[in-house]
Each structure stands twice: as C-alpha cells, then as structure tokens.
Structure 1
Amino acid sequence: MTELSSTAEEILRRTRPLILLGGYDGFSYADISTIVGIRKASIHHHFPTKAQLVRILVERYRREAIEGLQKMDEVIADPAEKLRAYTGYWQSCITSGSEPFCVCALLASQMPALPDEVAAEVRVHFRALATWLTSVFRDGLEQGSLHMAHDPEIEAEVFVATVHGAMLSSRAHGDPAVFEMIVRPLVERFVR
C-alpha cells in the first residue's frame, strides 16, 4: 500500500467510527467533510469513490489485525491463552466502547449491497482470521492443550462465527456482558 497524506489518513481515521455506527451506507462524503473540516472535493481527491475509501480502510484494518495476531503469537505460546487473549481483546473493546464491533463483521452483514472491491477485502479479512485460528487450533491439538470435536479448520470457522455473533448479541442487548457470557464457555469447551 502506498503512503497516504496526512489528510487521507485523517479521512480514514474519521470514517472508521462512521462505518461502525451505520455501515457502508450509513455515511456520506458530506458527513466526512463536516467532521474533518474539508470540502467534499478534497475527499474525492484522496479517495475518488466511496468504495475505494472503504476498501482501503478494510485493507488497513485487516493489516492491523494480522499484525496484532502476530504480536500475540510472539508473546503467548499456549493456544488456549491465545483464544482467551483474542476474546479478551474484544471484550475490552466492547466494554470500553473503543471498538464496539468488528468493522469487517459489520460490513459482512451487508455483503449483498457492498461494492465488489469492498466485499472482496472483507472476505480476505475473514480468511486471514480463520487461517490464524486454524493454526492456533492445530497447535493446541498437537500439544494436547486443546480438545475439539471437529477438524481445526471447522473449529476455527465456528469460533469466528460465534465471536462475531456474540458482538452482534451484545450490541442488540446493549450490554457488553452478553459478549463475555457467550465467549467464555466457547473458549472453555476447548480446554476441558
């Protein structure tokens, strides 16, 4: 990815919460213009289309997530602790309101209406997350520290779906505790 100007970086930074509030169609360049304090034409200069803006935002979001998972791999060896750390990260974000929902999960709920280039980036995000979780489950199986009913690939997909579904339930109930209520037994069923 090419280096972006400070204005483009600010546009991306301010767009992320807008997506979390209303999804792809929940904001416009006029909204960004007001928040950032620049003209819509300036936004179009940096991001000619909304699809391009959101695609770049999702690409960056995925890179940040992968970097975070790689850092986790460097400091946590135990697969069960990695699962707890991953869900703990989201519990903290949801409780604090700093990142109340995964950007890609929210966009995935809108897949039929997303431009193809945005939908493709969302799919890549979920593949990357499932790939990382598959490796965690494989490691746990090899070490004997995790027990599972299905192949690691299947358990990884179930884990992804359950964690993101827990985000949705937490949001629907307006209660961050709902997330923990769902994911704690999810993790623990692998470590019995």
Structure 2
Amino acid sequence: MTSISTHDLILSSARTLIVSGGYNGFSYADIATVVGIRKASIHHHFPTKAELVRSLVAGYRKEAEAGLGALEGAVADPADRLRAYVGYWQRCIADASAPFCICALLASEMPALPEEVGAEVRAHFRTLAAWLRTALEQGAGQGRFRLERDAASEAEGFMATIHGAMLSARAYGDAACFDTITDSLLDRLTARP
C-alpha cells in the first residue's frame, strides 16, 4: 500500500476547493484544515498560491493529454473517439468525481488569474482544441461528420458546448442536462444530409 505524499494531498485538496469555489474561493488556511497540516507546510511545497494552482493546472494538462492520447490510440473511429470523450465527462458529472473541467472553471476567472496560471489554462484549451480539430478533420474526411464550418471553428464550438453543458448541469443540479446538450451536439455532427 502506498501513501499519498503531502505534496499530492495539497494538490488534491486545491483541486477540490477550486471546483467548489474557484481560484479566489479558497486559501492556504482552507487547505491546511482539509489536509491537517500547518499553512507553513503548504508554503514549503508551494511558496505562493499562484505556484500551487499553476502546478495543479500543469498536472491536470498532463493527465488530459495522456487521456486524449490514449483515446487516439485505442479508438480508431473519430465519431467513437468524440463519443468516448463526451462519455468520460458524462460519467464524471453523473458520479460527481470531476463535475467540472478545472481549466474551464479557471477560464471563467481569467481576468483575475495570475499570468502563470492563465498561461497554463490557455495551453490546455489549445491542446484540447487541436485534438478535437484533428478528430473532426478525420471524421469529415471519412464522411463520418457533416461540418458546417471549418474543422478548427467546429472544434472551438464543440469545446464551448461541452463546457457550457457542464455549466448547465451544475446550474440545474441535473447531470442529465449535460447528456441532453451533448447528445444533440453529437447528433448534429453525425447527421447525414
């Protein structure tokens, strides 16, 4: 049995607190209470809140990139790949394990974020948009998708719809709301003329 390091407990706690209240909705005192350590211990691992959240987002980006890469390798059909991506979020929202994309949540606070955090958030959006664009281009090339605009624009719209669906599910307190919105998105993309 492996124990979780204090460093990782701090990051995990910060992630949970960001999802529940955003960047400005938590402090080191909140993390100290959750983890059961002194604030000085947090400062030892992360001298500033900006460094803590930058590190958290950098780790989140790595996880997301690994997940997208795994989907790319495991699911050949682009339509199934997008369904698997949407399915991941459906499960996370339904079981409340990750009810909101950390980067989408932080993007809503972009004007108030420290630049180093904002840079990580923008990098996540660029990576996700590029992955979506590739899947959409492949699917359109195979006749699997009917795109109304160029793949890059469709990718941005797809990403915005997914994040908006997360927001709607949260606002209504209803995970099924996410499914309704994303099912419509996938149906539109795969509709035959």
Report the Cα distance in structure 2 between the residues aligned to 1:64 and 1:13, rounded to whole angstroms: 13
Q: CA RMSD in A?
A: 0.9
* Structure 2 equivalent of residue 152 of structure 1: 151
Q: Does 1:93 align with 2:92?
A: yes
Report the Cα distance in structure 2 between the residues aligned to 1:72 and 1:116, rounded to whole angstroms: 31
Report the Cα distance in structure 2 between the residues aligned to 1:141 and 1:161, rounded to whole angstroms: 20
* Structure 2 equivalent of residue 51 of structure 1: 50
Amino acid at match of 2:153: I
* Structure 2 equivalent of residue 20 of structure 1: 19
* Structure 2 equivalent of residue 123 of structure 1: 122
Q: Post-superposition shift, 1:126? A: 0.4
Q: Post-superposition shift, 1:74? A: 1.1
* Structure 2 equivalent of residue 84 of structure 1: 83
Amino acid at match of 2:16: P
Amino acid at match of 1:115: P
Aligned residues: 188
Q: Post-superposition shift, 1:7? A: 1.5
Q: Does 1:113 align with 2:112?
A: yes
Give CA-to-partner distance per residue, 1:63-111, whole Å, 9 cap, x none: 1001001111111111111111111110110010101111111100011
* Structure 1 equivalent of residue 135 of structure 2: 136
Report the Cα distance in structure 1 between the residues aligned to 2:16 and 2:40, rounded to whole angstroms: 21
Amino acid at match of 2:68: L
Report the Cα distance in structure 2 between the residues aligned to 1:28 and 1:62, rounded to whole angstroms: 23
Report the Cα distance in structure 2 between the residues aligned to 1:187 and 1:11, rounded to whole angstroms: 37
TM-score by length of 2: 0.95
Q: Secondary structure at the match of 1:146?
A: coil
Identity percentage of aligned residues: 60
Of 123-132 and 9-18, more deviation after overlay is shown by 9-18
Amino acid at match of 1:38: I
TM-score by length of 1: 0.96
Amino acid at match of 2:54: R
Report the Cα distance in structure 1 between the residues aligned to 2:100 and 2:136, rounded to whole angstroms: 24
Amino acid at match of 1:76: V
* Structure 1 equivalent of residue 71 of structure 2: 72
Give CA-to-partner distance per residue, 1:2-61, whole Å, 9 cap, x none: xxx921111111111100000001110001111111110110010000000000000100
Q: Post-superposition shift, 1:141? A: 1.4
Give CA-to-partner distance per residue, 1:140-192, whole Å, 9 cap, x none: 11211111011110000000000000000110111001001101010111111
Amino acid at match of 2:137: R
* Structure 2 equivalent of residue 161 of structure 1: 160
Report the Cα distance in structure 1 between the residues aligned to 2:95 and 2:72, rounded to whole angstroms: 24
Q: Secondary structure at the match of 1:150?
A: coil
Q: Does 1:42 align with 2:33?
A: no
